[in-house]
Chain A
């Protein structure tokens, strides 16, 4: 779905199908239910930080496109479940975001490093912030 592919016919191969299955298994969501209404994207508090809108991540996942793994979107999702309550098709989009994050994190990848924080920041931040951040963004 990157710009260099625009105008070309998208061919879905076995690898795409397998990746889509993996996302569905990990998330427990039936992503084919999505009909691209965009309600999730319209209510998302973090879209300004995203490269692909949440609805686009779902479309890419339906097609099994591994480009979602390198998207910025999956890391800035706050798992606030606003998309979940808005989806008219009953998809918990936050679960799909977590599934994609997990595929990356399970390759022993850490998105953030606590050493990046200054001693002052560490003192100020409540542990609820640090624990939840590291739970979501590190392997």
Chain B
């Protein structure tokens, strides 16, 4: 299955481990992800004001790239796969605006400079977790080489994978898609109170201490529930939950570093891929001691 893949900016810089583990584990699952030849930042957040058209241009341009890939036969479907929760939300919502508001379509098309074609609204925006779910959890289970037996994993959804209501990848009140993925890998999903609570998002820039406090609550709740590791699908959540542990430890000496990784890294581990497909060394909180202790990684 050849599908178009939109990585987004952060996956090319501070979240390379997310990008590499996505591509490698997808390949093993029979999904060839193909990046458009050129793409731009999606804008990271959906413009919420009703009169704002300008900020929809960036995500729509990316969707236009996907339509071009379909037209030239590079991919089989008019569909784009994302893994970053913010890219997913921004592309999906801009697409929805495009397909529901003809006045805005006209304005968007009028202002789309330097494009040889217009967007037709055909692209389906999908998250990789949905793609894997559609393949069937058994497909994932059957490809597992190292079942993650006795590993207690807390799935952290955060905000934009699930909200606003109806726009997420799963039920906004009671999601289960990451739990199903964790089970298919042979691990045990841990339910915890803060799995859908916001980590403070972009306020990490100017309100570091508040974000550290919110992140502490999330990490602590996962720990109390018995988790040994957190998985997430957002480079901003990953940054807040792992990098802000520096601030947490400054304020709470009893706090012990807690590993936070991307869901695709966990998949790559269970699929028995090489360590350079998981790039664990890039994670601020190194999960390798835990995985070695569990016997999933060999001692070097």
Q: Do A and B come from one complex?
A: yes
Partner of A81, one of B14, B164, B207, B214: B164
The total number of A-B Cβ pairs within 8 Å is: 124
* Interface membership of A126, Cβ < 8 A: yes
Partner of A131, one of B41, B198, B206: B41
B202 x A78 contact (CB < 8 A):
yes
Partner of B164, one of A85, A126, A132: A85
Per-residue contact bits, chain A 71-105, to B (CB 8 Å; 1 contact, 0 not): 00000101111101100000010110011001000
B198 x A95 contact (CB < 8 A):
no
Q: Which residues of A contact B (CB under 8 A)?
A: 25-28, 45-46, 48-49, 76, 78-82, 84-85, 92, 94-95, 98-99, 102, 112, 116-117, 121, 124-133, 135-136
Partner of B84, one of A76, A84, A116, A128: A128
By secondary structure, the A interface counts as helix
Q: Which of B48, B162, B163 has the most CB of A within 10 A?
A: B48
List chain B residues, Cβ under 8 A from A81: 159-160, 163-165
- Would you list which residues of chain B between 49 and 97 have a CB under 8 Å from chain A? 49-52, 55, 84, 86
Give the distance in Å from the alpha carbon of A92 to the alpha carbon of B172 in the complex.
14
- New A-B contacts (17) at CB < 8 Å, excluding given A46-B210, A49-B207, A127-B13: A26-B49, A45-B197, A78-B203, A79-B159, A80-B198, A81-B160, A81-B164, A82-B198, A95-B48, A116-B206, A117-B205, A126-B13, A126-B236, A128-B84, A131-B44, A133-B205, A136-B45
* Interface membership of B10, Cβ < 8 A: yes
B9 x A80 contact (CB < 8 A):
no
By secondary structure, the B interface counts as loop
Are A133 and B9 CB-contacts (below 8 A) given A26-B51, A94-B48?
no
- Indicate the size class of the contact surface on chain B: 35 or more
* Interface membership of B235, Cβ < 8 A: yes
List chain A residues, Cβ under 8 A from B186: none
List chain B residues, Cβ under 8 A from A46: 198, 200, 203, 210
- Can you report 13 residue pairs joining A to B where beta carbons are below 8 Å apart? A46-B198, A46-B200, A48-B210, A49-B210, A80-B163, A80-B201, A85-B165, A94-B164, A95-B48, A126-B235, A127-B41, A132-B45, A133-B205
List chain B residues, Cβ under 8 A from A136: 45, 202
* Interface membership of B124, Cβ < 8 A: no
* Interface membership of B204, Cβ < 8 A: yes
Partner of B235, one of A102, A112, A128, A130: A128
List chain A residues, Cβ under 8 A from B203: 46, 76, 78, 133
B49 x A112 contact (CB < 8 A):
no
Q: Which of A48, A99, A131 has the most CB of B within 10 A?
A: A131
Per-residue contact bits, chain B 159-193, to A (CB 8 Å; 1 contact, 0 not): 11011110000001100000000000000000000
B205 x A125 contact (CB < 8 A):
yes
A99 x B14 contact (CB < 8 A):
no
* Interface membership of B239, Cβ < 8 A: yes
Min CB–CB distance B213 → chain A (angstroms)? 8
List chain B residues, Cβ under 8 A from A49: 207, 210
List chain A residues, Cβ under 8 A from B8: 128
Instruction: Identify the closest chain A residue to B50 (Cβ).
Output: A28
Min CB–CB distance B57 → chain A (angstroms)? 14
Q: Which of B10, B49, B86 has the most CB of A within 10 A?
A: B49
Instruction: Identify the closest chain A residue to B85 (Cβ).
Output: A128
Are A131 and B9 CB-contacts (below 8 A) given A78-B203, A124-B243, A136-B202?
yes
